[in-house]
Structure 1
Amino acid sequence: MNTYIEQKYEYISEKEMSCFFNENINFIKNVVSKFIFSKYVGANKNDVDEVCQEVAVKIIKNDYIAKYSSEKSSINTWLYIISRSVAVDYMRKNNRIYINVDDLDQISEPENEKIDFNFPEDILSKRQKEVVRMIFWGDLKAVEVAEQLGITSRTVRCIKHQAIQKLRRHFSAASERRVVS
């Protein structure tokens, strides 16, 4: 058990438990509010207060203070884990909408908007221009381009690479590294 808690709360009375929560309530509220407001739509201050109360109930009801060990984690880490778990349970129980930005589809560009790019004169060969247009503006994979042109996908990737190198040199971006698919 944490020596801090042992010294202050050898036997946990109602007064001592109240003292423990008074000392740690700001940390708990901070954790709960940051988590709830960053992850859930429509969360409000009342939700934060409710979750903080549920954290206190969970700690008291399950006698978590007696189970706490400073060898495993700090008091702040311990409170963080409990607070976050209770917040997730609370929001799930209340059927709140959870937004994960990674799950959102990318916003598609309007279909009628056509991007036209004119390649610099005498930089790329006709075949290189054709391959670059099919890959980048036609959204085709190297295998699909290869099928249409009657060449291997390895050749398509080689032509694309050579074209990109030429364009980088032309636009003085040879030293700049970018991932191009």
Structure 2
Amino acid sequence: MKKTQKMEDLTAGIILDEYESLYRMAYTYVRNESDAMDIVQESAYKAITKCQTVKPRYLKTWIYRITINTAIDLIRKNKKEVIGIEDYEYGAEDSYQDFDTLDALNVLSPREKQVIVLRFFEDMKLAEIAEILNENLNSVKSVLYRSLKKLKTELTEGEEHYEQ
């Protein structure tokens, strides 16, 4: 078997193993089932066609990076479109059902959102996140704690009204 074919097979295997996580991550960005599926499919295509350029040990984190970038590209492309509330789609079948938490993610910058999604939604270790985002581990830790503080503020903002 040729080296190219081995890399394509390895890449396809990782994509299949990580498909649900990649989908959930894409969904947190676009909040639309069909767009999230398109992102994962486009990312898989990009990964399989370019996998020869990556060392095998970096494939998984590289695929996550492609998926994040593809989601961000789609958001930028569609930014000029105005979405009405009737077009805003919550995935009935999706495993992220806490919409207050999903809405709270909107207070985060894209970088902060990436760290939170990878850490808590995809249960990745901080070292993996640093590798995916190509950042220093201490930077990722700082972003994580700053993001958690923002989320806590956002999620507890209205609670004092209910306690009275």
Taking structure 2 as the reference length, the TM-score comes to 0.41
- The structure with more radius of gyration: 1
